[in-house]
Amino acid sequence: MKKNTLYFIALIIINFSTTAQNVENTAPKYRRGSLYTLMINDDTRPYANVIRESFEKGPIPDKFDDHRLVNRVIPATNSPDEKDNVTQFLQNNHVAKELVAKWFNRSEWGGFNMNLIQTRGKYDANALDIAKSKSTERGVNSLADAGEELIKNTFVLVNDYRYTSKEEVAKKTNKGLGFASGLMRAAGMGNIANIADVASVGVKVMGKGYIVKSTAYLYRLVWDEETAAKFYNTLWAEDNTITTEKLKAWEDTDMFRLEFVGSDNSWADVQSTVFTKKTEEELIEKATIKAVDAVIVKLQKNHDEFKTKTPLYSGEPITAKIGLKEGLSNESKFDVLEQVQDESGKTKYVSVGVIKVDTSQPIWDNRYGADEENPNSVTDKTYFKKVSGKDLYPGMLIVQKKGK
């Protein structure tokens, strides 16, 4: 009897392991964009050190791969528009070139390899063998696919933070309720903005914390057929094949560049009152990180190339691990994409349906610090309804529709 029981348990474990392995093997092999974030630094601004430390230790948004370089700070010029300053900094510091070096794991000896591209793109190692790939059409297409899907979707995001204390806003309510109400709406303080008599809330109750305006400058690494061909043919070498000529060619090249995508600004706030036990430094840290998320949402709404793809978590009911941090509202709609490969081995995305937020369920509040600001939330995903299309299943990708 004991042996039979042990045998039965062993069968369960084996079956469970096999099932888990099959689930893992069918996990979506989608490829995310990569992001390098910097900030404009002005030591004369209040809490400058706290702002900088909060930014530097803050996480890269989880819908992107982390492509940060060592330098994260650009000195401010205190101009109302820092675009020229940012562009000049990126050029002077050869940021485009450094981003490419990171993609190809350039070593201290000057050689490159495809390890990072293989990992992030989930490619087979043989498909990315440079010597073999350049000799076959399918191999060339694999390299092109890696470039289009990964390297081309490398972005640089520079944030310029402007902080205003809620207390300063609250003090203006008696002189201009319209200004204060509009500002608080923009900052996400809707509950207060909807109160008929804003001044009745009082400076001391709603005044603790910070409203943050982040102006962001977005750039994209240029990686086209001409750039790729020139890199592979004139600069590529592994550590065991590197030559003095190849080293000099890399040092002298100025072929890599960034293109400006656009600029946008957004408001973020920390929902705190006089009753909070958090320090000013802790409030500023939260505001800094939330401001990055808020401005990314704004940029993605206005620039399709910056939009991220998200895999469906389940097909029935339809759910995905995105929420308020990604700017979802009751009006949000998404195209559902299926990832396929054409005959040459290149990846394509085919639209197979449209979904919208299920308004009968709460949208997941996954914003930074939401566990403290909304402790009663029990959901960890957002629910959707199918508008059109075929049957949906986990792993299909969704991308927000333009203007939604």
pLDDT of residue 90: 98
pLDDT at 342: 74
- The beta strand positions in 48-127, using DSSP E, are 65-66, 73-75
For 94-117, what is each residue's pLDDT tens digit?
999 999 999 999 999 999 999 998
Distances (CA, A) of 225 to 181, 187, 233, 292, 378: 51, 43, 12, 32, 48
Within a domain: 124: yes
Is residue 18 assigned to a domain? no
Instruction: Write out pLDDT tens, residues 288-339.
Output: 888 888 899 999 988 999 999 999 999 999 999 999 999 899 999 999 999 8
Helices and strands of the chain, counted as H and E runs: 15, 12
Q: pLDDT-based confidence at 348, cuts 50/70/90?
A: confident
Q: Does 5 fall in a domain?
A: no
Whether the Cβ atoms of residue 179 and residue 57 lie closer than 8 Å to each other: no
More confident residue, 204 or 74: 74
Torsion of CA 325, 329, 335, 338, to 10 degrees: 40
Domain end point (choices 273, 307, 341):
307
Helices in 28-78 by DSSP H: which ranges? 48-57
Domain boundary among the residues 275, 307, 339 is at: 307
197 and 267 share one domain = yes
Are 323 and 221 found together in one domain? no
| 226 domain residue, yes or no | yes
Instruction: Let me know whether 382 and 340 are in one domain.
Output: yes
Structure tokens at 185: 């709406």
DSSP string, 156-190: EEEEEEEEEEHHHHHHTTTT-HHHHHHHHHHTT-H
Q: Are residues 288 and 322 in the same domain?
A: no
The pLDDT assigned to 179 comes to: 46
Answer whether residue 30 shows pLDDT above 70: no
Residues 208, 290, single domain; the answer is yes
- pLDDT number for residue 147: 78
Rounded distance between C-alpha atoms, residue 61 and residue 353, angstroms:
26
39 and 150 assigned to the same domain = yes
The chain-wide mean pLDDT, for the chain, equals 80
Residues 120 and 263 in one domain: yes
Q: What does the pLDDT average to over 201-215?
A: 58
pLDDT of amino acid 190: 43
Question: Is the pLDDT at 27 greater than 50, yes or no?
Answer: no
Is 4 inside any structural domain? no
Based on the domain organization, do 103 and 205 belong to the same domain?
A: yes
Task: Say yes or no to pLDDT of 25 above 70.
Answer: no
Q: Specify whether 224 is located in the same domain as 249.
A: yes
CATH code for the domain in which residue 378 is found: 2.40.10
Position 156 confidence tier, pLDDT thresholds 50, 70, 90: very high
Give the separation between CA 361 and CA 395, rounded to whole angstroms.
22
Could you tell me the pLDDT band of residue 370, with boundaries at 50, 70 and 90? confident
Is residue 338 included in any domain, yes or no? yes
More confident residue, 175 or 56: 56
Structure tokens at 37: 């974030």
Are 321 and 381 in contact by the 8 Å Cβ rule? The answer is yes
Distance, CA of 38 to CA of 56 (rounded, Å): 8
Q: What's the rounded mean pLDDT across residues 41-67? A: 88
CA distances from 102 to 68, 95, 390 (A): 9, 10, 40
Classify residue 15: in a domain, yes or no: no
Residue 252 lies in a domain: yes
Domain range for 263 is 30-307
Tell me: do 231 and 346 sit in the same domain. no
Burial per residue of 216-243, b for 16 or more beta-carbon CB atoms within 10 angstroms, e otherwise? bbbbbbbbeeebbeebbeebbbeeeebe
The answer, yes or no, to whether residue 73 has pLDDT greater than 90, is yes
Check if the beta carbon of residue 362 is closer than 8 Å to that of residue 379: yes
Estimate the share of the chain in helix, then strand, then coil, as percent rounded to the nearest 5: 40, 20, 35
Residue 7: pLDDT band with limits 50, 70, 90: very low
In percent, the amount of the chain with pLDDT more than 70 equals 72
Output the pLDDT for position 373: 66
Place 287 in a pLDDT band, splitting at 50, 70 and 90. confident
Helices 48-57 and 280-302: crossing angle, nearest 10°? 60
Structural domains counted in the chain: 2
Residues 6+ away with beta carbon under 8 Å from 334: 354, 355, 356, 384, 398, 399, 400, 401, 404
Last residue of a domain, one of 307, 329, 344: 307
| Cα separations in angstroms, 36 against 21, 49, 64, 161, 252 | 33, 21, 10, 17, 24
141 and 207 together in one domain: yes
Q: Are residues 230 and 353 in the same domain?
A: no
Q: Compute the average pLDDT of residues 268-284.
A: 65
